[in-house]
A and B are shown apart, each in its own frame.
Chain A
């Protein structure tokens, strides 16, 4: 099991989510974050003086998937989040030791994303 963490532009999220839904990966979390990288800051003018804002808003996606699915997730994110300009973001992949579904107490890979039979019992 792997945890995929991606920092992306806001407008990239909706296409990524739509494609992941179609591919059968509905389970993910997002966090609205602010961070800095090589992207320049935004300068706000206010009555003649200015303040530069280096921390830019991004969306952080967290998604835990089976090891075999990682490349699919990463490829989807790369495809939709890339504009070619500085500020597109980054993707990280981390190992995950164990996963539990709270509702049933199940553990392991089958708790990660939806399976056709599980979805039918909603």
Chain B
């Protein structure tokens, strides 16, 4: 009874907030009505929304990547998880996340724009994005899909054994608190960016390392899948069930990255976004090829999963430098990431069960990408973006590299400690892991009561069943159905 009252009260409070006159959209609404919305606002907003939609599509990429790398008995649960996380993140980021991340130049967090409501002048409310005149709504959507990507990365290490409710609990904390604060420091106008000049164009640290750090925290509490490590402690392969779906996921993510990096210009009028497309593409190509070569040298075979991980790692690595480096540097950054991800997957697998390689492809590559700014940032581009200075190869100074390293360490420490505590509390109260029997049966049937691939688990005779579904031979013609058709 008491709990019901609280829920009712919160719902009514939300409705009340939404009924208040929305100053939020007034700026564009009035201007457009009077016919004086500048063309640049339309053009820049259009590009930011298109880029945001591309980044949203990365959710499909993460879903198929995890499905492909899971066993068939755990395929369906990923769909429900991605849908729920994406939706929780959307509401949490609207309510508090966006304000914490971008609402002002506070050292630790922002404080204007709760519920995208009553923030006044957009240029002063969200100053770090003030260089673009795209509407606040466009910027909110773009930053929200970033948050959702970061949250999706967290769960890569947890496949095939985690309780479904854990997703919901942590998603609220992550999208409402951990991600907004961490990303505020790095690219929302916080102390790392504004005071120290840390460079992270689209989020190697702010999105990918934060997600991978959460993934490490939950993995340390969760432990490996049953059967991952033999009695002798050596890792055993638990092959994913669908490499073609995995391949599709890589191309979806790669496509999404052309919104992720070039969209972070937040505008189209200076043409910078096309240059970011080039650095992004070059890095990814180098990453794939170096991952294939490294796999052939170390494993004596061309591992399909490693080739895909190479693309992702290179794209993660070029995310921070994409707006700061020249094309030749992008090739180097991607190539190093391609080698790094293979070596890292092999090393991490010895002790930690990370089914999709999230710690390597997003964590290690995210660190490398962030540090790469300290090496390869072009001084002219640093001046153009107005954060930090040139990298080691141009200036001979270790200053920018030191700033980047400090950023990596502090963001990692903050996110790790916060996430470790949250998952510890969840473990002590709700529990993190399904029972051994449920894990053996698979999460599809044990958590959702249905299979991702019913034909694999329900014998054909039982699927046909008995009773009204069966139609007498003569009835098919009279009902107008082709005899070979099966009624739905």
Contact = CB atoms under 8 A, between A and B. Distances in A.
Interface of A: 10-11, 34, 42-46, 51, 53-55, 57
A39 to B, nearest CB: 13
B480 interface: no
Contacts of B454: 44, 46
Contacts of B457: 53, 57
B94 interface: no
B449 interface: yes
State the majority secondary structure of interface residues on A: strand
Nearest to A35: B459
A44 B449 contact: yes
User: What are the 10 A-B residue pairs with the smallest beta carbon separation, nearest first?
Assistant: A45-B449, A55-B459, A34-B459, A53-B458, A44-B450, A45-B450, A46-B450, A53-B462, A11-B440, A55-B462
B462 A51 contact: yes
Interface in B425-459: 440, 445, 448-451, 454, 457-459
Contacts of B448: 45
Given A10-B440, A44-B454, A53 B459 contact: yes
A119 to B, nearest CB: 23
A106 to B, nearest CB: 36
A17 to B, nearest CB: 13
Contacts of B458: 44, 51, 53
Contacts of A11: 440
A55 B462 CA distance: 8
A53 B457 CA distance: 9
Contacts of B487: none
Nearest to A45: B449
Given A10-B440, A44-B454, A55-B461, 12 more contacts: A42-B445, A43-B449, A44-B445, A44-B450, A44-B458, A45-B448, A46-B450, A46-B454, A53-B457, A53-B459, A55-B459, A57-B457
Interface of B: 440, 445, 448-451, 454, 457-459, 461-463, 465
Contacts of B451: 44
B131 to A, nearest CB: 49
A34 to B, nearest CB: 5
Contact of B463 (A10, A42, A51, A57): A51
Contacts of A54: 462
B467 to A, nearest CB: 12
B1 to A, nearest CB: 29
A90 B463 CA distance: 26
13 contacts: A10-B440, A34-B459, A44-B445, A44-B449, A44-B450, A44-B451, A45-B449, A45-B450, A51-B462, A51-B463, A53-B459, A55-B459, A55-B461
Contacts of A57: 457
Contacts of A34: 459
Given A44-B454, A44-B458, A57-B457, A51 B445 contact: no
A82 to B, nearest CB: 15
B465 to A, nearest CB: 7
A7 to B, nearest CB: 15
B459 A51 contact: no
A55 B388 CA distance: 65
A63 to B, nearest CB: 23
Nearest to B444: A44
A11 B450 CA distance: 21
A51 B448 CA distance: 14
